[in-house]
A and B are shown apart, each in its own frame.
Chain A
Amino acid sequence: DAGVIQSPRHEVTEMGQEVTLRCKPISGHNSLFWYRQTMMRGLELLIYFNNNVPIDDSGMPEDRFSAKMPNASFSTLKIQPSEPRDSAVYFCASSTTSSSGSQHFGDGTRLSIL
């Protein structure tokens, strides 16, 4: 039973480059969440989708960040241009809108911007 799959697991790139993080949610889950974890701010929600529609993007730090969910099985988080302060671990999670509502997380993408 596949969990949430994120790629790449690690990304190292130079500032100014475009970065694309990918996520495949658990099949049948209709909510998808992108989080960022840093030492300073902990685990913070960037954006989430219900049924492929962005519901709340208030956590997206600035216009350099964008997220898409073209279908129920795929989402991307893009940073363009990237900056060193974007270095963090980015997690994707998915869930169903059930009474439990617990989210299932991927193992994250560790992003380093040099």
Chain B
Amino acid sequence: DQQVKQNSPSLSVQEGRISILNCDYTNSMFDYFLWYKKYPAEGPTFLISISSIKDKNEDGRFTVFLNKSAKHLSLHIVPSQPGDSAVYFCAASVRGSGNTGKLIFGQGTTLQVKP
């Protein structure tokens, strides 16, 4: 049972335009969400995160939006650059008082930004 789903395996956008990557989750206990970026032959790299008490978090060209009622989050990259071409993973955790940090990952979306 996939608790975190990225339904689009790939996305292609033109340089300078907006990239929107989507993620859905089923577990209402998740209270922290993260996005990771992964280049070939490297490990995933943390990009941006959001707590469930917020609906938006912005860091430079990257913004994550959270819609708790829809159990949906999205990552916006604007403007997109060719160097953004990578696999993007959505991840979620139940932090709570235990704060174990266990992450559940989505399947990933491959983003290609064309020059």
Contact = CB atoms under 8 A, between A and B. Distances in A.
A102 B42 CA distance: 17
A42 B32 CA distance: 20
A100 B48 CA distance: 10
A103 B41 contact: no
B21 interface: no
Interface in B70-97: 89, 93, 95
A42 B100 contact: no
A47 to B, nearest CB: 10
Interface stretch (B11-19, B22-30, B60-68, B101-109): B101-109
B105 A105 contact: no
Interface stretch (A48-56, A60-68, A69-77): A48-56
A108 interface: yes
Interface residues of B, number: 23
Given A4-B43, A100-B49, A45 B102 contact: yes
Interface residues of A, number: 25
Contact of B43 (A31, A56, A106): A106
A107 B43 contact: yes
A101 B93 contact: yes
Interface in B36-66: 36, 41-46, 49
A82 interface: no
A102 B36 CA distance: 9
The residue in B36, B46, B104, B108 that gathers the most chain A C-beta atoms within 10 A of its C-beta is B46
5 contacts: A31-B100, A33-B101, A42-B106, A43-B89, A56-B102
Interface of A: 4, 31, 33, 35, 42-45, 48, 50, 55-56, 91, 93, 95, 97, 100-108
